[in-house]
Amino acid sequence: MRSFVFRFQSVMQVFIALGAGICGVLLILFPSGTLLGMSVEALKHSPFTDFLIPGIILFLVNGAGQVLAAVLTIRRHRLAGYAGAAFGIGLMIWIFVQVNMIGGNHILQYSYFAIGVLETAFSFLIQSYLSEAHSQASGSIGS
């Protein structure tokens, strides 16, 4: 079960990182959003005039951040659970803000929010597994 949790978490993190990284770069390079089939008209109720700043945030938080979380998860680093929780919550916040600024009712928004919930939940499991492993290792050293 533990192996499944770590693998599933890292697959989710890499999946999010790839999509967010690619879309973030495309929004940075082409802030009009037209390359992704988006219009700046969608931003009329937001503080942004184009997709440059959202693209940078998308790339850094959900792209690069998820890569970091995936590496920590794959390595079973002691901070993997914390990183997964932070970036899972970050993904949920991203979707929440997106829905409130440009509107919702798209299946991808629901899907990514659900992935953020799953990632966060799995992070608690991962952190408990890592804490347990650390305490067992500490106990055997002192014996």
Give residue limits of the domains in the chain. Answer: 2-132
Question: 103: Cβ–Cβ under 8 A, 6 or more apart, which residues?
Answer: 42
Question: 13: Cβ–Cβ under 8 A, 6 or more apart, which residues?
Answer: 66, 67, 69, 70, 73, 84, 87, 119
pLDDT digits (tens, 9 = 90+) for 94-133: 999 999 998 888 999 999 999 999 999 999 999 999 999 8
For residues 87 and 13, the answer to whether their CB atoms sit within 8 Å is yes
Residue 141's pLDDT is 54
Q: pTM value?
A: 0.89
Calculate mean pLDDT across residues 28-50.
Answer: 94
**Nearest to 116, CA basis, from 50, 61, 74:** 61
pLDDT digits (tens, 9 = 90+) for 43-76: 998 999 999 999 999 999 999 999 999 999 999 9
Sign of torsion over alpha carbons 23, 24, 27, 33: positive
Tokens linked to 141? 């050293």
* Choice between 139 and 29, residue whose per-residue pLDDT is larger: 29
What span, in angstroms and rounded, lies between the C-alpha atoms of 56 and 45? 19
Alpha carbons within 13 angstroms on the beta-carbon side of residue 77 total 14
